[in-house]
A and B are shown apart, each in its own frame.
Chain A
Amino acid sequence: MRGWEACLSSSGRRDLLLRLLAGSRSVNERKSRKYTTKMAAPGGEAQTTAHVGKRRKRPRRYWEQTSKKYNSGGKSSDGAKQKAKKRRGDRRKKRKGGLSGEVESEDPKLCEQTQETGKKDNSGEKSSDGPKQKAKRRRVDRRKKRKGNLTVKVVSEDTSKKDNDGEKSVDGTKDTADENATKRSDAKFISGKVDPFPGEAPIPEERLRKFQRGNKFVVPEEIRSKLKDTLAKSQEAADLAQTQAARYDLLLTEDAGFLEGDEGEDTCTISQDDIAEAVDITSGSKYFNLRLTQFGPYRLDYSRTGRHLLLAGRRGHVTCIEWQTKNLMCEMNVMETVKDIKWLHSEAMFAVAQKKWLYIYDSNGTELHCIKKFNDVLRMQFLPYHFLLATASATGFLQYLDVSVGKEVAAINTKLGRLDVMAQNPYNAVIHLGHPNGTVSLWSPNQKEPLVKMLCHRGGVRSLTVDRTGTYMVTSGLDRKLKVYDIRAFKPLNSYFLPAGASCLSLSQRGLLSASTGDIVQVYRDVWGSGPMTKPYMAHRVRGTVWGVGYCPFEDVLGVGHAEGFTSMIVPGAGEPNFDALDMNPYRSTKQRQEWEVKALLEKVQPELISLDPGLLGKVDKATFEQKHKERVETLGYDPLAVEKFKPRMRKRGRSAAGAVEKRKKKVAHEDQRDVIRKSVKERMEKEKEKKRKDSAKEQLGEKTALDRFKK
């Protein structure tokens, strides 16, 4: 099964090379061709679902094991490599043949046809929207036009390939650039034709917009030329960065998953077993159940890389699993009620909210800290870029623990009762709390009062979650409603009625919403889309009442903790397909993790910077003097610039009368008004002069007559 996987992915690489070289084939066409040529029957042994308690011999690494399987045919790794090389060579030969053949036989009609099929394939995945389609068509047209060059390109490619027989790496932009350059120059040299599309290929507007930061700054005409230059230069640099980032999007290797039913079939009727059967075995093994009936119900947390899973049963069972390999890292019973569990910044440590206090354990299950300042914690959230663990307690306290230095950053008495509904906004690190009176309050550690308080439900709030762009918040309440809010404008977008109400909500990286009602987990798609959402995307019934749900980052997996244990569900299209290894790398080694940890600690964002707008620091502070002064007065408690009004003491007479003293103190009377008075006097004089002059002119003109009024 691994072999099949590897084969596909290497074909994916080759495919990328093709895309870079020819740049003429549409995505779908490519895919289809590959499918027909490369589709191989998945083979290999089936994996049995492993129980956590059953401890297997631990492989050194998750991927080592699989690669061994892949190499099992070859005797040594060298042999395998040789084979791979040979295979690659074969493939290259084949491709060259195929490509040139295609070029010869290619006519616009055929191309159009393949395009059409491709479109159909995609139509289920995405709702067809006007501009996208248009852009696509435009792209296709462009490609068709460009096809004229293809023969030339292939020839040049051949020559360059002959020169260096070794295989080329494809995962660099530089290579593409080089090849482009050779292509261009060769094209001129061989056929003598002029490139009809000189310059760089244009980038679609949409993709550019994805990488746009802020609005473009319009340089006013009247500013100094030096400043103008600086602004122009910085704008240029920003544009370059934007286009390069947008161009890099082409090189992303993975595509998101999807699930489509047969015609007329709802995807929500497709069972997990069917999906697990349909997909390859590695993916199929991601659907599994852990029957843990003794200590449930369970809450769970995936680590930020998505490789590790924490399970905490309410009756004290705490386990830590590398869930893909089913490798148990630690298992223990803390012999206390466990309310919540959360990974800290890496998979080396996690926090457990126990009956009374907050505990921190390492991944071997060793107790590192018992933090008695944090008591009766019900829910926790970890803010990874701030290294803050936010806890909400039964006593109504919202507390922040800086886990990098071990200090309490803030303790806020919310005065809103028991806090058992909590979520974080990943966009701005603001904590959202849901309350029994139906309000949701937003908190930052810098303020004793909530940043925002919004009434969301008629009954109490049962659960809430925020999407990763920080735009939408989904809440569910005791009024059995599921509501979607735009939290930039604090406006409700959609409201749905669920017959049983949703107890647990979770949003995936790509915006799939999972809502659990009783023992059923439903997954919704396009929750904040324009059209009304009628049916769930997927549904699954687990064995017991659901207690916690969470998506695994970078995987199409939804973890469900319930009364009878834990269920890992496959939800195609949930996870972000392309991770950024400098941010979060699921395949990182220990060394890489350590390096990352140091870097992350160095750029730890201070808790003071948490606010509703995370980009505030990059904006110009336009606070006027009045505002600043007002703030100053507020902080000082008095107005430092206020001039006290003179209150005369009532004295009868003499030099030391209060008024006289004041007058003497002032030395020069109305000193501050002198300029104004002088000016006004001058103006008055001038006016009078003018008036006089006019009068005299009138007198000179003589008596007024009735006809004067017609004069201008």
Chain B
Amino acid sequence: MRILSLRALITSRGMKVKVLCRNPDDYVRETTRDIQRVPRNYDPTIHPFEVSREYTRALNATKLERIFAKPFVASLDGHRDGINCLAKHAKTLSVVLSGACDGEVKIWNLSKRECMRTIQAHEGFVRGICSRFCGSSFFTVGDDKTVKQWNMEPPGRGLQEEPLNTILGKAVYTGIDHHQTEGTFATCGQTVDIWDEQRSSPIRSFSWGVDSFSCVRYNPVETELLASCASDRSIILYDMRESAPLKKIIMQLRSNTLCWNPMEAYNFTCSNEDYNLYTYDMRRLDVPVTVHMDHVSAVLDVDYSPTGKEFVSASFDKTIRIFPKNSGHSREVYHTKRMQHVICVKWSADNKYILSGSDEMNIRLWKANASEKLGLLTPREKAALNYNQKLRDKFQHHPQVRRIARHRHLPRDLFKQKRELREMKEARRRKAQNVRKHSKPGSVPLVTEKEKHVVSVVE
């Protein structure tokens, strides 16, 4: 007898036959406690319409993303005046410090969403606040021409809130930032001053024919470098070890604040009065790397995400926008009915949340990724989210998917203003084009959007 293959039978007539006959035990789970058996066959012929089905999935994923985009997490209320400045705790994720226009400083616990401590720090505005790198104390500056150092720990029961140190200055200080690793800090006001924590007078003082500064920031990597925004439309770079400033860019309008990119620390972004943000490369200041447009009013504050891939900006137009670092337009806009002019904004150190302080005395907590699900995810959830993300990426250029993914609701006024600005811009462009057309060739050079805003660079 010849040997035959599995389940083939030889009949008396000599034919060979094999018929499909499956044993159900191979395909059905044994008990209800088992997981279901799922035999797969990846043969493309039994999976027709794979592109269209994947597209449908991508469309669904995009729609779901928009459905779940509920970025607002919490509102922290308690201040009795507009919030003027915010600071992150250097070591603890859940602690945030805020200073208000009535001189009050509050320390918040984000996980409980409550105020842990209230200090009447200054008379008049609290202009700047920053935490020491070790997180044991923090500094505030205010309109009362003082710099105060406070203990992060609350005083014992029955004791008064007293600053650890108080420095009386000659002029109003408008901003403060602490060194990354050493006991020095920088303030700005009429000059940019470098202070040693142990001394009551600045160890160095920079000025470059400027009357007042609005912001000073240490570079997070090259820790001796500083940048400041001045009211004469300039941004000035300093080296702490030298006696004179390094460089100055003069722009067409004033910059309000700036923030260094924590990952590529040669880049910084400044928020400007002309509704735009500008990212500069420190090594090449004559042209900004990117101009970020979308706001319809002056931009007041900017902060980078700890990954350095995105930054958030706060504007006078009552919105917060999130920009990818190299994109000219924002990927996200946050607004609520009650949020007024946003004065300050911070991106949390775990890259998940955004904090905004606004005029109407509230600090708001937002998700950095609007549709993200908070809390622990099961592995299956994670896999599903990753898959959806990949699908969205894959089909992002399809018109339907793009339309849904890009759609954001804006308040009516904002929407109109945006349209108006676009028209104005278009008109200006058209006019420039016409002028160029009717002038002697070469006499009216083509100026790019990037070049337009820089007046000069002074060494």
- By the criterion CB–CB under 8 Å, are A274 and B11 in contact? yes
**Which of the segments A6-14, A87-95, A445-453 contacts the partner chain?**
A6-14
Contact flags A204-234 to B (C-beta < 8 A → 1, else 0): 0000001101000000000000000000000
- By the criterion CB–CB under 8 Å, are A617 and B51 in contact? yes
**Which of the segments A147-155, A290-298, A582-590 contacts the partner chain?**
A582-590
Q: Whose C-beta in chain A lies nearest to the C-beta of B8? A: A258
A8 to B27, CA, bound (A): 15
A407 to B398, CA, bound (A): 27
A378 to B6, CA, bound (A): 44
Is B389's beta carbon under 8 Å from chain A? no
Q: Chain B residues with Cβ under 8 A from A262's Cβ? A: 13-15
With A579-B39, A580-B41, A582-B38 in contact, do A253 and B56 touch (Cβ < 8 Å)? no
- By the criterion CB–CB under 8 Å, are B42 and A580 in contact? yes
**Which of the segments A312-320, A369-377, A570-578, A627-635 contacts the partner chain?**
A570-578
- By the criterion CB–CB under 8 Å, are A385 and B15 in contact? no
Q: Whose C-beta in chain A lies nearest to the C-beta of B29? A: A589
- By the criterion CB–CB under 8 Å, are B5 and A469 in contact? no
Q: Chain B residues with Cβ under 8 A from A582's Cβ? A: 38, 40
- By the criterion CB–CB under 8 Å, are A274 and B45 in contact? no
- By the criterion CB–CB under 8 Å, are B15 and A572 in contact? no
A585 to B22, CA, bound (A): 12
Contact flags A612-628 to B (C-beta < 8 A → 1, else 0): 00111110000000000
- By the criterion CB–CB under 8 Å, are B8 and A426 in contact? no
Q: Chain A residues with Cβ under 8 A from B13's Cβ? A: 262, 265, 270, 274
Partner of A429, one of B9, B14, B49, B60: B49
- By the criterion CB–CB under 8 Å, are B4 and A35 in contact? yes
In the assembled complex, how far is the CB of residue A224 from the closest CB belonging to chain B, in whole angstroms?
14
Partner of B42, one of A248, A584, A618: A248
In the assembled complex, how far is the CB of residue A582 from the closest CB belonging to chain B, in whole angstroms?
6
With A254-B22, A262-B15 in contact, do A581 and B52 touch (Cβ < 8 Å)? no
Is A490's beta carbon under 8 Å from chain B? no
- By the criterion CB–CB under 8 Å, are B26 and A253 in contact? yes
Most chain A beta-carbon neighbours within 10 Å: one of B13, B23, B50 = B23
Contact flags A256-295 to B (C-beta < 8 A → 1, else 0): 1111111101010010001101111011001000000000
Q: Chain B residues with Cβ under 8 A from A121's Cβ? A: 2-5
- By the criterion CB–CB under 8 Å, are A570 and B19 in contact? yes
Is A85's beta carbon under 8 Å from chain B? no
Q: Chain B residues with Cβ under 8 A from A680's Cβ? A: none
A583 to B50, CA, bound (A): 12
Is A524's beta carbon under 8 Å from chain B? no
Is B377's beta carbon under 8 Å from chain A? no
Q: Chain A residues with Cβ under 8 A from B164's Cβ? A: none
- By the criterion CB–CB under 8 Å, are B6 and A35 in contact? yes
Q: Chain B residues with Cβ under 8 A from A575's Cβ? A: 20
A444 to B71, CA, bound (A): 43
- By the criterion CB–CB under 8 Å, are B28 and A63 in contact? yes
A277 to B17, CA, bound (A): 11
Within 8 A of B (CB), among A635-661: none
Is A31's beta carbon under 8 Å from chain B? yes
Q: Chain A residues with Cβ under 8 A from B47's Cβ? A: 580, 583
Is B18's beta carbon under 8 Å from chain A? yes
Q: Whose C-beta in chain B lies nearest to the C-beta of A241? A: B42
**Which of the segments A156-164, A395-403, A603-611 contacts the partner chain?**
A603-611
With A35-B5, A262-B15 in contact, do A602 and B38 touch (Cβ < 8 Å)? no
Is B57's beta carbon under 8 Å from chain A? yes
With A35-B6, A211-B44, A592-B36 in contact, do A603 and B19 touch (Cβ < 8 Å)? no
In the assembled complex, how far is the CB of residue B81 from the closest CB belonging to chain A, in whole angstroms?
48
- By the criterion CB–CB under 8 Å, are B51 and A265 in contact? no
Q: Chain A residues with Cβ under 8 A from B55's Cβ? A: 609, 617-618
A31 to B6, CA, bound (A): 5
Partner of A283, one of B11, B21, B36, B398: B21
With A385-B49, A426-B48, A581-B39 in contact, do A274 and B7 touch (Cβ < 8 Å)? no
Partner of A606, one of B14, B25, B41, B56: B56
Q: A283-B21, A580-B47, A605-B56 are in contact. List 19 more A-B contacts (CB 8 A).
A: A8-B6, A9-B23, A36-B3, A249-B42, A254-B22, A258-B18, A259-B15, A385-B53, A468-B48, A556-B20, A570-B19, A578-B41, A579-B41, A582-B40, A584-B46, A602-B60, A603-B57, A605-B53, A609-B52
A–B pairs, 20, beta carbons within 8 Å: A31-B6, A35-B5, A62-B24, A67-B25, A122-B5, A248-B42, A258-B8, A262-B13, A265-B13, A278-B17, A283-B19, A286-B19, A572-B17, A580-B39, A580-B41, A580-B43, A583-B46, A602-B60, A606-B56, A614-B51
